[in-house]
């Protein structure tokens, strides 16, 4: 397990060790849960989106905080077989899994202890549903009849400059029709959707004009809030901007860089940031 975490998932040794040690505390109930989680992956390889696994409760013990990680790691061989079947090589498989190491680090930063609160997210990775192409991740979402591409942004991977966005989307436009022609054939133009705090137009009032986040947001046509429930705004800002849990008081949030200072200025002025849904306007990228 430690080797897989360190060498394939890019985990920090501290997280890999904590996960391996916590596994010793798995009782019958948690083992049963992990077994059911594994089967939910194995039964839906290549499926859309991610699976609705529960998050560990706030008072979870060591083993329970990692319980979703174990079936994910057990499913890595399934993912590799799936990838090989569509001609995705080992380097690309490893790249997909690096997100696990990132989220283990983020978990430690947010909660002050190791664990994996968003194990459900990685059911997309190990089911062969999400791919990292350059700076962006692309997840097959929608339905089989009306598939669409979900666009996701890892925290680790450097700035989100417009050139890197264009390069990624260009790669996705080649990759998915080649690997999944039954879903993204030539008769069906690919649509890219993104649901994120990054698309909140209120950020324009607070971030500097040079900000990549604003340039990214400008590439999307928003779906009106009246048709989209943007429930996660607060939690996403706390998680992705400040790396803190949603119950952290505003006064305790760090303000160490331009983004945090700018977003904080809005919070102090009473702005309720929102998670917004948008469709990528490919023309604005010249694609
Ligand atoms: C999206 C992201 C890559 C944009 O980064 P970027 O291209 O550097 O963005 P900007 O140009 O707008 O901002 C640059 C400034 O914000 C800071 N910054 C950028 N992302 C940050 C983050 N996640 N946390 C804290 N500070 C961040 C940079 O350090 C820089 O500050 P500085 O000028 O004082 O050095 C970055 O915000 C990020 O990693 N976010 C986490 C992942 C995420 O939110 N994904 C979407 C989930 S829905």
Domain holding 197: CATH number?
3.40.630.120
Same domain (yes/no): 124, 141: no
108 and 148 co-located in one domain: no
* Closest ligand 1 atom number to CA of residue 157: 3
* Mean pLDDT for the chain overall: 95
146 and 243 share one domain:
yes
Amino acid 188: pLDDT: 84
Query: pLDDT confidence of 166, banded at 50, 70, 90?
Result: very high
Question: Separation of 247 CA from ligand 1 center, angstroms?
Answer: 22
Instruction: Please check the confidence at residue 145 and state whether its pLDDT lies above 90.
Output: no
- Name the β-bridge partners of 131: 138
On whether the CB atoms of residues 167 and 210 are closer than 8 A, the answer is: no
Ligand 1 nearest-atom number relative to CA 160? 7
Measured in Å, residue 84 CA sits from the centre of ligand 1 at 34
Pocket test for ligand 1, best of 259, 264, 277, 278 (most atoms within 8 A of CB): 259
What pLDDT does 229 receive? 54
pLDDT, residue 73, reads: 98
Q: How large is the average pLDDT for residues 261-270?
A: 97
Q: Which helix (H) or strand (E) holds 74?
A: helix 69-74
Is the pLDDT score of 230 beyond 80?
no
Q: What is the mean pLDDT of residues 195-212?
A: 96
Q: What share of the chain is helix, strand, coil (3-state, %, to 5)?
A: 50, 10, 40
Mean pLDDT of the region 196-215: 96
* H or E element that contains 109: helix 90-111
CA 259 / ligand 1 centre spacing (Å): 6
Query: Per-residue pLDDT averaged across 83-100, rounded?
Result: 98
Residue 171 shares a structural domain with residue 117: no
**Are residues 49 and 181 part of one domain?**
no
Residue 113 and residue 141 in one domain:
no
Residue whose CA lies nearest to ligand 1 atom number 44: 240
Contact of 34 with 67, CB cutoff 8 Å: yes
Q: Which of 80, 101, 128 is the last residue of a domain?
A: 128
Residue nearest to atom 24 of ligand 1 (CA): 241
- The residue whose CA has the least distance to atom 5 of ligand 1 is 159
pLDDT for 239 beyond 80: yes
Q: Are residues 277 and 263 in the same domain?
A: yes
What pLDDT is recorded for position 121? 98
Percent of the chain residues topping a pLDDT of 90: 91
**Do residues 271 and 202 touch, judged by C-beta distance below 8 A?**
yes
Domain around 191: 133-287
* Same structural domain, 191 and 96: no
State the pLDDT confidence band at 144, using cuts at 50, 70 and 90: confident
Place of tokens 């998670």: 275
Ligand 1 centroid – CA 273 distance (Å):
16
Output the CA 115–ligand 1 centroid distance in Å.
23
Can you read off the two tokens belonging to residue 51?
Answer: 């699976």
Asked if 96 contacts 132 with a C-beta cutoff of 8 angstroms, the reply is: yes
Same domain, 231 and 282: yes
Q: Residue 46 has what pLDDT?
A: 95
- Give the per-residue pLDDT at 129: 98
Distance CA 134, CA 170 (A): 10
* Token representation of residue 68: 């979703």
> What residues does ligand 1 touch, defined as CB less than 6 Å away?
153, 155, 159-160, 196-198, 207, 211-213, 236, 240-241, 257-260
Q: Give the domain-ending residue among 113, 128, 143.
A: 128
Task: Enter the pTM of the model.
Answer: 0.95
**Closest C-alpha residue for ligand 1 atom 33:** 258
97 alpha carbon to ligand 1 midpoint, in Å?
A: 21
Distances (CA, A) of 32 to 24, 28, 29, 38, 212: 14, 6, 5, 10, 45
Predicted pLDDT of residue 231: 61
Decide if pLDDT at 227 tops 60.
no
For residue 162, the CA-to-ligand 1 centroid distance in Å is 14
Nearest to 203 by CA among 109, 267, 281: 267
Q: Using CA positions, which residue lies closest to atom 39 of ligand 1?
A: 155
> What whole-number distance in Å separates Cα of residue 15 and Cα of residue 33?
22
Among 218, 190, 201, 206, residue whose Cα is nearest residue 267: 206
What are φ and ψ of residue 212, in 5° steps? Answer: -65, -30
pLDDT classification of 241: cutoffs 50, 70, 90:
very high
Q: What is the pLDDT of residue 214?
A: 98
Question: How much is the average pLDDT of 102-124?
Answer: 97
- How many Å apart are CA 239 and CA 229, to the nearest integer? 19
Q: Average pLDDT of 14-35?
A: 97
Q: Report whether 214 contacts 204 (CB < 8 A).
A: yes
Supply the Cα-derived Rg of the chain in whole angstroms.
19
Residues 142, 232: one domain?
yes
Is 262 found in the same domain as 203? yes
What's the confidence (pLDDT) of residue 283? Answer: 95
Indicate whether 95 and 187 sit together in one domain. no
pLDDT band of residue 233 (cuts 50, 70, 90) is: confident
Task: Report d(CA 280, CA 153) in Å as an integer.
Answer: 14
Average pLDDT of span 14-25: 97
Q: What is the DSSP letter of 248?
A: S
The 10s digit of each residue's pLDDT in 170-199 is: 999 999 999 999 999 888 889 999 999 999
**Domain boundary, last residue among 102, 128, 154:** 128
Alpha carbons 270 and 258: distance in angstroms, whole number: 19
User: Per the structure, how many domains does the chain have?
Assistant: 2
């Amino acid at each position: 397990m430690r080797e897989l975490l360190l060498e394939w998932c890019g985990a920090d040794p501290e997280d890999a060790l904590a996960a391996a040690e916590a596994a010793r505390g798995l009782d019958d109930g948690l083992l049963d849960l992990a077994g059911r989680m594994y089967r939910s992956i194995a039964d839906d390889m290549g499926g859309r989106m991610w699976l609705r696994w529960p998050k560990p409760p706030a008072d979870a013990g060591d083993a329970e905080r990692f319980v979703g990680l174990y079936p994910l790691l057990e499913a890595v061989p399934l993912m590799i077989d799936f990838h090989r079947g569509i001609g995705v090589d080992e380097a690309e498989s490893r790249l997909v899994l690096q997100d696990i190491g990132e989220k283990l680090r983020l978990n430690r930063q947010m909660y002050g202890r190791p664990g994996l609160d968003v194990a459900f997210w990685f059911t997309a990775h190990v089911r062969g549903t999400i791919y990292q192409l350059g700076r962006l991740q692309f997840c097959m979402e929608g339905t089989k009849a009306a598939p669409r591409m979900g666009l996701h942004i890892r925290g680790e991977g450097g700035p989100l400059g417009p050139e890197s966005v264009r390069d990624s989307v260009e790669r996705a436009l080649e990759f998915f029709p080649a690997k999944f022609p039954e879903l993204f054939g030539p008769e069906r133009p690919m649509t890219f959707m993104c649901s994120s705090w990054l698309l909140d137009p209120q950020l324009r009032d607070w971030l500097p004009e040079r900000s990549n986040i604003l340039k990214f947001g400008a590439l999307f046509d928003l779906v009106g809030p009246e048709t989209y429930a943007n429930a996660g705004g607060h939690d996403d800002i706390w998680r992705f901007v400040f790396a803190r849990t949603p119950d952290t008081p505003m006064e305790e949030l760090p303000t160490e860089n331009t983004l945090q200072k700018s977003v904080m200025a809005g919070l102090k002025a009473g702005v309720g940031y929102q998670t917004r849904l948008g469709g990528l306007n490919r023309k604005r990228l010249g694609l």
